[in-house]
Amino acid sequence: MRQRTRYSAVAMLLHWSIAALIIANLFLGWRMGFLKGLAQFDMFQLHKSVGITVLVLSIVRLVWRMLNPVPPLPAGMKGWEVAAAHVTHWAFYGLMIGLPLTGWAVVSVSPWNIPTLLWHTIPWPHIGLLHDLPINAKQAVEKVGGSIHMYFAFGGTALIVMHIGAALKHQFISRDGVLGRMVPGLRSTPHTSSEA
């Protein structure tokens, strides 16, 4: 039986949808700091909507990943590259789930107690356990959670840049088909020396 060399169409759709949403939300989070009043409020609501959407899609993607084995990496990859690929893969899951979770936690303990209405339509609850904490505990959670959320954002940005750099290296230098595993239309097997 021929070995699969590409991710499934579902995995690709989830990958690119989540990637676009995360990049957009990193921009929205940065942009919010420059706005005031209603414009900032609207941006904040949009930021929350995108974040929770990322959380839900990431859980779906993780379940899909558990049920559908990924295509193997090229046999010619060095050991450290394989290790880096696995670490990066799971770091992204940490980012995709941890970033929105910490944001949700901060919203849940905020003294403003602003409800979340996803996409101006779907009511989204606070995390009850956090929302019901005494005021001092809420302040501590908000401070720690806000810091973690910010570190996730900066770390996520760095991770995305490294991930793109590695993908381009595999496509144009190693020419081993790694990028084609996740991009429709690209070759998903290594180029041979006769094709160079």
Query: Please, are residues 130 and 105 in contact by the beta-carbon 8 Å criterion?
Result: yes
CATH of the domain at 68: 1.20.950.20
Look up the domain containing 117 and give its range.
9-195
Residue 31 lies in a domain: yes
pLDDT at position 2 is: 55
Cα end-to-end span (Å), the chain? 28
Query: Could you give the number of structural domains in the chain?
Result: 1
**Position 1 in a domain:** no
Please write the tens of the pLDDT for every residue from 70-120.
898 888 889 999 999 999 999 999 999 999 999 999 999 999 998 999 999
The amino acid sitting at 30 is W
Distances (CA, A) of 55 to 5, 23, 33: 28, 14, 23
Question: Residue 17 domain-assigned?
Answer: yes
The DSSP bridge pattern shows strands 122-124 and 116-118 to be antiparallel
3-state secondary structure of 183: coil
**Residues present in the chain in total:** 196
pTM value? 0.91
Average pLDDT over residues 26-32: 96
180 part of a folded domain: yes
Contact 15, 61 (CB under 8 A): yes
pLDDT digits (tens, 9 = 90+) for 141-175: 999 999 999 999 999 999 999 999 999 999 999 99
Calculate the alpha carbon distances from 127 to 62, 86, 105, 106, 109 in Å. Answer: 22, 31, 7, 10, 8
What per-residue confidence (pLDDT) applies to 74? Answer: 85
Residue 49 lies in a domain: yes
* pLDDT tens profile 155-164: 999 999 999 9
